[in-house]
Amino acid sequence: MKVLVTGSRGQIGQDVVSLFSEAGHHVIACGRRELDITNMEHCQQVISVHQPEVIIHCASYTAVDAAETNVDEAYLVNATGTGNMALSAERVGAKLVYISTDYVFNGQSPHPYYEYDRPDPQSIYGKTKRAGECLVQGLCSQWFIVRTSWVFGRHGQNFVKTMLRLGQERELLQVVNDQKGSPTYTVDLVHFLLELTATEKYGIYHASNSGACTWYEFAKAIFEKAQELLGVSFKARLEPCRTDEFPRAAPRPENSVLGHLAIRNNQFDEFRHWSEALEEFLPSMRHSL
């Protein structure tokens, strides 16, 4: 299968490229230099030349706080750019996978969010990603919208890497304990994309590792498992705190837990628990500690 990947140098994109290639697919990796998603003519030209069967659209404006002031740029990338990819996919008859986010919800529900719950984004980032979803649904006939959350993996910056670094640098580390979510290992996410793109089970999917925790509980598990598996000692003392003690430009959802209704109903395998995924991931960080 010929697969074109946007955002191929990003945290998710790099694993998409490597794991799809390992699975025997012909992968066209496109970063900003190879594909300007904000330029409609360039999108259509690149997609027409390569004629992919599947497009995995990972490119995204992900600076959550900066988006609150860089509104036009965030919409340009996440909405207009996604619309361009949807139209380009439709022109060549390609399946389109759009990587979206838990931020499309308001985060105030006491229950996990299912795929058909009403979106109500509170931040500019969330609003732009929701706009991208709407454009995919309206412009493309073969689409998968895959919402994920709290992503960690070998590439790019993420919470696990940050905690491993700060745990060795600081004496005290305060981590919010009133935001709950589902951590997601990029490798597990991409394995699901491999399964999903082989089907025609189109629609919205919530794809995160099973289980839920607060950021503080996640940090505590990172420290404990890194000490157990890697023998790393941390000088930082972990301390729980409230969100309002660290005000940010963009509001953070209190509840980001994603329910996997579509995965179950379409007979896909459920994701393993986030703690199991973390145990598998941490040894890959051994040489960077």
Residue 209: exposure state from Cβ atoms within 10 A (0-12, 13-18, ≥19): buried
Q: Report how far residue 55's alpha carbon sits from residue 3's, in angstroms, rounded to the nearest whole number.
A: 6
Phi, psi of 175 (to 5 degrees): -130, 135
Distance CA 172, CA 58 (A): 35
| Neighbouring-strand partners of residue 176 | 241
In angstroms and rounded to an integer, the radius of gyration of the C-alpha atoms of the chain is: 19
Q: 55 vs 46, 73, 227, 263, CA distance in Å?
A: 12, 23, 40, 20
User: What H or E segment, with its residue span, contains residue 249?
Assistant: none
* Alpha carbon separation from 201 to 27, 58, 146, 185 (Å, rounded): 22, 20, 12, 23
Q: 2: which strand partners?
A: 26
Residue 47 sits at the vertex; the CA angle it makes with 129 and 57, to the nearest 5 degrees, is 25
- Identity of the amino acid at 209: N
Of 98, 103, 113, 125, the catalytic one is 125
Q: H or E stretch including 144?
A: strand 143-148
What does the alpha-carbon distance between residue 53 and residue 89 come to, in Å, rounded to a whole number?
A: 9
Q: Is 185 a catalytic residue?
A: no
Residues tagged active-site: 125
